[in-house]
Homo-oligomer: A and B are copies of this chain.
C-alpha cells in the first residue's frame, strides 16, 4: 500500500526547530527567527513557518510576545512517578511543601478501596503545594492509613512525606502505580499553582506499595501541565 501523501512541510519545519531547542542549542527565552526569516531559510512560505511555530506553541515549546516575536519556553521539569522531593534532589533542585490542610478523616470509598481499609478505619490526609526552586509545580492530596501513621499530623511536613514514612514509621515505599490524565485546573488550583493562562493540569491518581505489597499511600496529585512532564518505562506484555 502506498502512502497517500508525505510529511506536511510545517510538520517537518516544526521538527527541525524542536530539535534545535531540545538539543539545548537554544536557551529558554531566546528569540527565534521571525516567520519570514524562518520561511526564507527553509524555502517555505511565511504561512507554513507560522503553522510550524503555532504547532510548537501548542506543544508548550515556544511562546509568543507580539510584536516582539516568538521565544523559547522554559523546559518542563521531567518527573518520574514517585516522590516529588526525591525527584527534585536527583535534579539538584530545591523542593518545598506548603501545607494547605491536614486532618484525620473517614476515607472516601475510592481511597478506602485503594488502601484496602475496612469500614470504620480512618486516614490521615495532607493537602500541600509542592515547589521546586520556589516555583509551584504541583498540588498533592495524600492519604495514609491512620493506623500506620500515628501522630503524623503533629510532624512538620515541609519536606518528603516518604522520608517521614521511612524514618518515623519504618515503612519503605517500593512501587508506585498511577493513572495520568489531562484535566482543566479549577480556579482554586490555578490560584495555588500561580498558573495564569496555563489552565490545564496533569492529574495523577497514585498508589504506593511497600515491599510486602501493602498499599501505604493513596494520592491525587495535580501538576501544572505547562511545567511538568512524566517519564515512564513499561515492559511490553506479550500479544494475546
Contacts and interface: CB of A to CB of B under 8 A. Distances in A.
Contact of A237 (B55, B57, B82): B82
Interface residues of A, number: 83
Given A182-B225, A233-B177, A102 B60 contact: no
A110 B184 CA distance: 30
A236 B186 contact: no
A183 interface: yes
Contact of A178 (B163, B178, B201, B234): B234
Nearest to A202: B182
Given A225-B181, A236-B175, A186 B55 contact: yes
B179 A233 contact: no
A99 B232 CA distance: 27
Contacts of A170: none
Contact of A231 (B162, B179, B230): B179
Interface of A: 1-8, 15-16, 18-19, 22-23, 51, 54-55, 57-60, 76, 78, 80-83, 86, 89-90, 99-103, 105, 108-110, 125, 127, 153-157, 160, 162-163, 166, 173-186, 188, 200-203, 208, 225-226, 229-237, 239-240
Contacts of A15: 108, 110
B180 A229 contact: yes
Contacts of A54: 186
Count of chain copies? 2
Contacts of A202: 180, 182
A4 B99 contact: yes
B178 A232 contact: yes
A86 B1 CA distance: 22
A80 B234 CA distance: 8
The 4 closest A-B pairs by CB, nearest first: A182-B225, A3-B102, A58-B184, A81-B234
A164 to B, nearest CB: 12
